[in-house]
Chain A
Amino acid sequence: MNGANNVNSINMLAQQQQLQSRVKIGVRNWQNATVQDLMNFLSRTTRISVVDAVVEGPLVVGYVASRADAESLLKWNGIRFAGNNLKFEILSGTGNDAPGTNSTITLLKNFLYKRYNAQTKMLDLGNLHADPDLVQKGLFSSMSTQSKMFPALMKLTSKEPQLVVESVNLSDNNLKDISGITTLAQTFPHLKNLCLANNQISRFRTIEVWKNKFKELRELLMVNNPITSDKLYRSEMMRLFPKLVILDNVMVRDEQKLTSIYSIPMKIQPFFFENNEIGPSSTDFVTNFLNFWDTDRMQLLGLYTPQSQFSISVDSSIPPSSVAESDQNPSFGYYLPYSRNISKVSSEKSIEQRLSLGPEAMSNLFGSIPKTKHHLQDMPDEYSMQTVTYPQINGFVVTLHGFYEEVGKPDADANNKTSAGRSRRFNHGHNSTNNRLFKKSFDRTWVIVPAGGGVVIASEMLTVRPFAANAWVQQSPAIQKVLEPQPQPQPPLAPQIDPMNPSFNASPPPQPQMGVGGLPVSMGVSPQQQPPMPPVSTPVPLAPTLQLPLEVQARLNPIQLELLNKLHLETKLNAEYTFILAEQSGWNYEVATKGFQNSVNNIPREAFIP
């Protein structure tokens, strides 16, 4: 995987060479046409290519590849262009520039343009002290140190809107720390690539000031710095730069997954069919999130801002032994020190401390709880998800219920506390069940908000419970049979997930007779609307286009069927969508009509009867 990067590096070197040897030229008397016309004309007529051309006062200023090119260009002086005679001049590399204090800025500015490549959007500030221009002009002696030189360059750069910079090279500058170059973060907050190779940087602490500054930094090159031999080097760099993908030519993050989790679509509509949009995207989000949570949860830190919050609560109440597969001897040793359950924890200080604020606190917490494996993809029936909008901040709230396996001790436990762990084991012998790894049930809520083209997690709450088979698993999801064969855009998970409804189990309104140890609190249709009548064939005449599967029809009472029929005739929605509309509106005609009107423009064509 380094091949491509090495090629890039070679390209970069080649460009660097080119940049160093190129010569700045100016053209006068061009004003009757556009700069582009001029460039085309020059390239056609003189066969000399002028790049990075910009207007500077009366001149068009650009660069040619070499001194020789610049001199050949002078031979074209007086050539006719757009009704005028062009005049060429060489602006740099001649040593003729006027000396003096005022010209320092001009010199630096020229230098910047000389070192800038508009094609690659790269500003090459490598090996500054060996730059012939800077040395020749005495800039290094007059400004004495780079620590002044660099801020001056940055200040000039920020005043040059033509300089669109994605990459900065600062290699070979004898940097011992970054104190002279910290302003880079203010000038280029959206920097994507940074090269600091061949310097003397040795301490993390000096780089700490860049934490959360380069939020889009993708590639960092720091080879040949003492700091790279530190064993925390990789993890520290990943912490400081949340979107870092390539460090010293090595892929440290899975960019594709990272992109998918940072860029879930955020189309929000009110009510009902809103789920059509946020359902699949929140499912994607949660799937990706949990994959990272299970494999390398520190990679998720970039999703949290310094204001983001995270907290855990432990519900240690043991399920009745009658509950299927329930864990009667749960251990919460790893979680209890962080449990924020404010109905139990009375110390205000603990309540405050246990609300983790910002990525750093979260990183500590993430490393202190067991490694996990969720089964969202292979066992989607065991999970239930609800998504609701949060229009006030244009975000949404996702709640997930389910279980995970604990597959490994926390990192913090394995790394730092080996001695404590050992003594605990010796002292308490078989009492190690305190931290037994097992399955856990959980509830988890995310508040997801859009930020700068992607999303961030504003709030997150996790409740960990003793494992128990979930209540909703037993219900037979008959309605899914209605939904499955539809040519819907396929959700990324198993087909059980209905893209119309972010709830993983679009379970049917259960029968009210579920009482025997079942759910007296049933959902969907209330018994008042659904009297326990024998499901005989319906007396309600349905429109021929309302093709309800028989098993669905059998479960509905006449009032519901009438409502479906009415909605179907009025909305022209097909049977499936009519049913969803009715169900999501709680079988309320007015709510359904309103919901339909609000979202009619967003309903897919295939939702209507042909």
Chain B
Amino acid sequence: MSLDFNTLAQQFTQFYYNQFDTDRSQLGNLYRDESMLTFETSQLQGAKNIVEKLVSLPFQKVGHRITTLDAQPASPNGDVLVMITGDLLIDEEQNPQRFSQVFHLMPDGSSYYVFNDIFRLNYSA
């Protein structure tokens, strides 16, 4: 548990959002077949479907800015629960959208993958 889950959560989210913001079609490596994305009210399972969904989102430019980040070890098996709130900057919009996201990260060898990803927009500006 002391491969500090806090650091892991920070590094993971940084990597994830960087990748999302530069080229979200490459996020597939972070998901597996059993992964589930709950995006607003739709649920998608499997890396392929999840990435298709993310790529299909209707914006060109996107930027994530984290406001809060909290993490807890979710079980003795080493998986970690990460909860984030932040701003979503889309295309040329002046005001950011606010989102909440929960990642359930599972250890897989020396790395981690996203087992569950629950995304919700809080409000739009």
Report A's interface with B, CB cutoff 8 A: 271-272, 309, 311, 313-315, 317, 319-320, 322-324, 326, 339-344, 351, 355, 384, 386, 388, 390, 392-393, 397, 399, 401, 441, 443, 445, 447, 458-459, 461, 463, 465, 468-472, 501, 503, 505-507, 509, 512, 517-529, 583-586, 588, 591, 595
**B72 and A459 contacting across the interface, CB-CB below 8 Å:** yes
Known: A461-B83, A520-B91, A526-B53. A322 touches B125 (CB 8 A): yes
Partner of B69, one of A343, A465, A518, A526: A343
Whole-angstrom CA separation of A309 from B22 in the bound complex: 35
CB of B93 to closest CB in A, whole Å: 7
Whole-angstrom CA separation of A526 from B67 in the bound complex: 27
Whole-angstrom CA separation of A402 from B121 in the bound complex: 12
Chain A residue at smallest Cβ distance from B116 = A388
Q: Which A residues touch B120, using CB under 8 A?
A: 384, 386, 399, 401, 443, 472
Whole-angstrom CA separation of A341 from B70 in the bound complex: 5
Known: A384-B120, A468-B123, A521-B58. A397 touches B102 (CB 8 A): yes
Whole-angstrom CA separation of A48 from B34 in the bound complex: 67
Known: A320-B125, A441-B122. A397 touches B72 (CB 8 A): no
Whole-angstrom CA separation of A320 from B94 in the bound complex: 10
Report B's interface with A, CB cutoff 8 A: 6, 9-10, 36, 38-46, 49, 52-53, 56-59, 66-75, 77, 79, 81, 83, 85, 87-88, 90-91, 93, 95, 97-98, 100, 102, 104, 106, 116, 118, 120-125
Whole-angstrom CA separation of A445 from B103 in the bound complex: 11
Q: How many residue pairs between the two chains, A and B, have CB atoms under 8 Å in the bound complex?
A: 188
Q: Which A residues touch B100, using CB under 8 A?
A: 399, 401, 443, 463
**B121 and A584 contacting across the interface, CB-CB below 8 Å:** no
**A343 and B41 contacting across the interface, CB-CB below 8 Å:** no
Chain B residue at smallest Cβ distance from A504 = B41
Whole-angstrom CA separation of A113 from B16 in the bound complex: 66
Residue picked from B42, B44, B74, most chain A C-beta under 10 Å: B42
Partner of A393, one of B75, B88, B118: B75
**A390 and B53 contacting across the interface, CB-CB below 8 Å:** no
Whole-angstrom CA separation of A311 from B39 in the bound complex: 24
Q: Which B residues touch A384, using CB under 8 A?
A: 120
Whole-angstrom CA separation of A528 from B10 in the bound complex: 33
**A465 and B42 contacting across the interface, CB-CB below 8 Å:** no
**A501 and B41 contacting across the interface, CB-CB below 8 Å:** yes
Q: Which A residues touch B74, using CB under 8 A?
A: 390, 447, 458-459
**B118 and A399 contacting across the interface, CB-CB below 8 Å:** yes
Give 7 nearest A-B pairs by CB, closest first. Answer: A523-B40, A526-B56, A343-B69, A586-B44, A313-B68, A320-B125, A443-B100
Residue picked from B71, B121, B122, most chain A C-beta under 10 Å: B122
**B57 and A526 contacting across the interface, CB-CB below 8 Å:** yes
Q: Which A residues touch B38, using CB under 8 A?
A: 386, 388
Partner of B6, one of A271, A351, A388, A472: A351
